[in-house]
Chain A
């Protein structure tokens, strides 16, 4: 049995041994990340639990068949994303006078679909050529075109702009072409 199957089956069965194993192996890393990012131990516990439930729901309801990376990488990314969602939620709540009352379960449902959406974008970005990926990453990190020219050894900024334009148009095209994109849209 592969590691991924071991963990996933364990989560589905609420298997105490497997979940203890996940706790011992991955929890310290989650705590460390959250402490470094304006959170506390209790936040880490909350995120950890929610991600396990998210994985369980994705297999049962969303037909997540396999995790393509290692379980650890997948799990940690999901924790990171959920925490950054929490931080943004706090930001938003303080901006809005009237707090919406949302049940935890409803909030978790939204978080799961947002995670799927994020993965869809990520997956499509990964499908591009290495060169496209590299230039788009610089572009998204708001690196100036002058610096892009240097880093990518282009001749002029115009060339860099054209390259970004083409790669991005292609990326958006393949995102829109995916069934999941429409399904996740209004």
Chain B
């Protein structure tokens, strides 16, 4: 029987690898409804593709045994499970209290801080319109010297992302780059720049900075670009002190990216 079923493989493959025309796809879907054997083979293939396609999951591709489901459900309601849950909650509370960084990752607090810094900015701006952080950020965030992602011909997704970024479609470029990257393999430095800057444009500061930090820690030739972008990420948030300390790192080595410009920006900030 399996021999027969293997004859289905070619059409299933073509469908799942997006090699069919719209009409062919429709035809295939119809035959799926009519042929349970084909459907079964198709589901196994779908599950196989999920081993590499991280955007999907096996919902409804198989039906688990009802008894086993019930047994597990009972366990999750058991006293033991409840005890574990309570322990985790308790530890989380302690952990969050001790961990200052999780304080800043709290959304509400970020909004309050952002609101406060905007209010402060408005006050400062009306008092003294010289070199506000916002103006400086606008002046220096002309993304230049960006690496090209189009060189690797087989990775058109990256090239598309670069175009979207260049067209200031940051939401889209961000989604595209992060989905490209979610196989959790090590991100290439050139890609780090684009993801980080997309995140920065979308005001995802903490995340942007984490990408720039990865760039700084990498052994890429343009590793020092990470400092410059990180400084601008702070500047955009009006964290001038932090921006200054990062710019000072750039000043330590003449070969660093934006060595001269960073002096100019430092002078305006100090």
Binding site for B on A (CB under 8 A): 11, 14, 16, 19-20, 23-24, 27, 31-33, 35-38, 40-41, 45, 48-49, 52-53, 56-57, 60-62, 80-81, 84-85, 87-89, 92, 103-106, 108-110, 112-114, 117-118, 121-122, 125, 137, 139-143, 147, 164-165, 168-169, 171-173, 175-176, 183-186
Contacts and interface: CB of A to CB of B under 8 A. Distances in A.
Contacts, number: 158
Interface residue SS majority, chain B: helix
Interface in B67-119: 68-73, 75-77, 80-81, 83-92, 94-95, 102, 105-107
B69 A113 contact: yes
Contact of B184 (A80, A88, A104): A80
A126 to B, nearest CB: 10
Contacts of A117: 47, 58, 62, 64
Nearest to B54: A84
B95 A114 contact: no
B63 A125 contact: no
Contacts of A14: 80, 83-84, 86-87
A81 B47 CA distance: 13
A33 B185 CA distance: 12
Contact of A61 (B54, B71, B95): B71
A84 B9 contact: no
Nearest to B94: A20
B129 interface: no
A130 B54 CA distance: 22
Given A32-B210, A52-B84, A80-B184, A118 B63 contact: no
15 contacts: A35-B105, A49-B89, A49-B92, A52-B88, A53-B76, A56-B80, A56-B81, A84-B56, A106-B69, A121-B47, A121-B51, A125-B48, A137-B52, A164-B13, A165-B9
Given A14-B87, A23-B92, A118 B50 contact: yes
Contacts of A57: 72, 75-76, 81
A41 B102 contact: yes
B98 to A, nearest CB: 9
Contact of B65 (A16, A175, A184): A184
Output the residue of B2, B65, B91 with the most chain A CB within 10 A. B91
Nearest to A45: B92
Given A61-B72, A81-B57, A122 B48 contact: no
A139 B258 CA distance: 44
B207 interface: yes
Given A14-B84, A175-B44, A140 B53 contact: yes
Contact of A147 (B87, B90, B154, B210): B154
B182 A37 contact: yes
Contacts of B106: 41
B119 to A, nearest CB: 25
Closest A-B pairs by Cβ, 7 of them: A109-B72, A105-B76, A186-B63, A113-B64, A88-B57, A14-B87, A140-B52
B73 A20 contact: no
Given A19-B91, A108-B73, A172-B44, 14 more contacts: A16-B87, A27-B95, A36-B181, A53-B81, A57-B75, A62-B72, A85-B59, A109-B70, A110-B69, A112-B72, A113-B64, A117-B58, A122-B51, A168-B48
